[in-house]
Copies of this chain bind each other. A is one copy, B any other.
Amino acid sequence: MREVRVFAPATVANVAVGFDILGFAINRPGDEIVARLNDSFSGVRIVVITGTGDKVLPTEVEKNTAGMAALRLLQHLGEEGRGIELEIHKKMPFGSGLGSSAASAAGATVAVNELLGAPLTRESLLYFTVLGEEVADGSFHADNVAPCLVGGITLIRSNDSLDVHHLPVPTNLHVAVVHPEIEILTRDARAVLSDTVLLKTAIQQMGSLASFITALYTNDLPLLGRSLRDHIIEPQRKKLIPGFDQVQAVALQRGALGCSISGAGPSIFALCDSGYLAQAVGQGMQAVFQDSGIESQVYVSPINQRGVEIIEVID
């Protein structure tokens, strides 16, 4: 029975200046997804889920992000007659702001596509992957899915039309991500946000966003540092993360270019101009949480340029 195993990386969405439109992939953590042909049935079945700790992920295909993504892809390809077993090995926490549900969905579409002889390009898998992730929080958005699938830093002009663009990655850019062991549900993180924003605040944020894009294209890390300010979302969401201000202050004191909330939180990312600095920044951020009695994990990585990786194919 042909079998494909893939690794789907964690992602940092929003990136301080691009709420719902920017994201990038990191090297670790990530989920592993296995897809296996089994012609004794037709459709998708989830046969194994590991790594969920004390939580439970639905094994019903239509309620599972990986299952739904695989099913929609199978239907699109007209291959509903095939039987596909899925194994989902969670290797990152849910509700962490690291794109856990996006990783499972992206891993599933890449694995199933490869299993069937790779009829679609990586970019063409985006739509089905977003349909899968939609199961998790009910909203159709690609800011985690796109960088997870294809790697790098991605811009989504429009989630409706999935108009996605690769942005250049400045030399030496590294990221430290700290995941404190507290949970924020995406719906709670959305609930604290005001429906409106002051026009003058939106203008500040737009100046920062446009400069951030410019800094990526011109490899101008000082400008990138000046641009990484979230005027809109961070001030509203940081109250959900105990000690956020101190963590951010330490990151900037140690030389990070910028530091903000990863996705809906509680993870916090800091962009740095070297791996060495990112290590020091990550340790500093972790120490702040530790002083408050909050356990955390630190991940230091360059920007992941590969996206979902095929680890093993067994024919």
Residues in chain A within 8 A of chain B (CB atoms) = 18-22, 155-158, 163, 165, 167, 193-200, 202-211, 213-214, 217, 223, 226-227, 232
Contacts and interface: CB of A to CB of B under 8 A. Distances in A.
A204 B208 CA distance: 16
A195 B199 CA distance: 5
A207 B158 contact: yes
Contacts of A165: 211, 214, 223
Contact of A194 (B199, B203, B226): B199
Given A196-B196, A196-B199, A197-B202, A21 B210 contact: yes
Given A20-B203, A196-B196, 8 more contacts: A21-B206, A22-B210, A157-B227, A163-B211, A163-B226, A206-B206, A210-B213, A213-B213
A14 to B, nearest CB: 11
Q: Give the oligomeric copy count.
A: 2
A203 to B, nearest CB: 5
A279 B296 CA distance: 62
15 contacts: A21-B203, A155-B207, A157-B207, A157-B211, A165-B223, A196-B196, A196-B198, A196-B199, A197-B202, A202-B232, A209-B209, A210-B210, A213-B213, A213-B214, A213-B217
A187 to B, nearest CB: 16
Contacts of A223: 157, 163, 165
B206 A205 contact: yes
Report which residue of A155, A156, A213, A217 has the largest number of chain B beta carbons within 10 angstroms of its beta carbon. A213
Contacts of A156: 207
A19 to B, nearest CB: 6
Contacts of A158: 204, 207
Contacts of A21: 203, 206-207, 210
A206 B209 contact: yes
